[in-house]
Amino acid sequence: MTSFSFTIEARDGAARQGEIATPRGAIRTPAFMPVGTAATVKAMYPAEVRALGADIVLANTYHLMLRPGAERVAALGGLHRFMNWQRPIITDSGGFQVMSLANLRKISERGVTFRSHIDGSAHELTPERSIEIQNLLGSDIVMQLDECVALPATDEVTEKAMRLSLRWAERCQKAFGRPEGRALFGIVQGGANDQLRVESATALTAMDFQGYAIGGLAVGEPQEVMLGMIEVTEPYLPRDKPRYLMGVGTPDDLVSSVARGIDMFDCVMPTRAGRHGLAYTRFGKVNMKNARHADDPRPLDPLSTSPAARDWSRAYLHHLTKSGEILGMMMLTAVNIAYYQELMATLRQAIAAGRLADAIGEIREGWAKGEADAQR
């Protein structure tokens, strides 16, 4: 069996281009991981997600434990068979989703008790149960349970959550062990506090996880705060382990974070935007609801890897979007997933060639030109 490993093949400044090896296939980095929260990347077939360039998808512990249930998925052969995706899967621990329940949850040293947003039923999620669920699902990369606080937050609240997350990290590591071919990632917390971020990263590094995530960002703070926390944290993470920025983000977030040494990303943005009529392209964002597209025979992007962007007119995509047709949601989701994968491929190639700064300049120039054209 192939073991879990990470190889850095090229560097350009802080940026790294490499590959994560897993028994279910390689993950080229920097990587964008489409979000398949409930064992589906919304509005897309798994084969299409793969064809557009994704090496790995993300599924969510919280949602799958509630419906259909981790034990049921395990009895049906595990998550890969259940959703017919044979490549790597990463599972979030459920901590972020539980945080969003606000008054429906209660946090203690033991774990989190909460009521389901589906039917109000009572549940408990401890570090050990989170690992058990992810093991039942059979994910290739498992995340520790952590407490994620919304920003802005006081230093007192942030420190308390960070220290609890460190204690939970130890319990998750003990529960997970060292299964061959699978990996457990620790999650750096600390809000927007430099000292707390450094302390969290240092403590987690000493625990020797197989990879490290930076969590608790993209939760309401400005981009400059997010990037600042990456810059503070990055020097304290191991050079030879993958780094994952959770829940991020816009194409500009991805470009800026890759330049600061991040290897892995996930975000609902491309799929959610596609279902609401917004396309991400090398020309920037294109709102297909705008009337200016109604008589436009041009494709969204003739060079896209997505047939939806190449083979149909903007006028047709506008019609589908305005009509609320499901096909429109499917096509724009595919356009967006394709663009995010194309962006990652461009960044990988640029790092390997030692021309990342030039490539980022060209990418941003394309966005700016597209936005200028849209104003005409």
Total length of the chain? 376
Q: What angle do CA 130, 135, 138 make, to 5 degrees?
A: 130
Measured between alpha carbons, how far is 221 from 216 in angstroms, rounded to an integer? 10
Measured between alpha carbons, how far is 97 from 100 in angstroms, rounded to an integer? 5
> 140 an active-site residue?
no
Instruction: Give the bridge partners for 107, in sequence order.
Output: 112
Would you report the helix, strand and coil content of the chain in percent, each value rounded to 5?
45, 20, 35
Q: What angle do CA 305, 266, 213 make, to 5 degrees?
A: 140
Catalytic residue among 12, 92, 140, 301: 92
CB 182 within 8 A of CB 142: yes
The 10 Å Cβ neighbour count of residue 251 is 22
Helix (H) / strand (E) containing 16: strand 15-21
Alpha helices in the chain (DSSP H): 46-51, 61-66, 70-75, 79-83, 95-99, 127-137, 155-176, 194-207, 223-233, 251-258, 269-275, 307-310, 314-323, 326-353, 356-374
Pairing relationship of beta strands 141-143 and 122-125 according to DSSP bridges: unpaired
> 296 an active-site residue?
no
Task: State the DSSP code for 50.
Answer: H
Catalytic residue among 12, 55, 263, 266: 266
Q: Max Cα separation, the chain? A: 61
Active-site amino acid positions: 92, 266
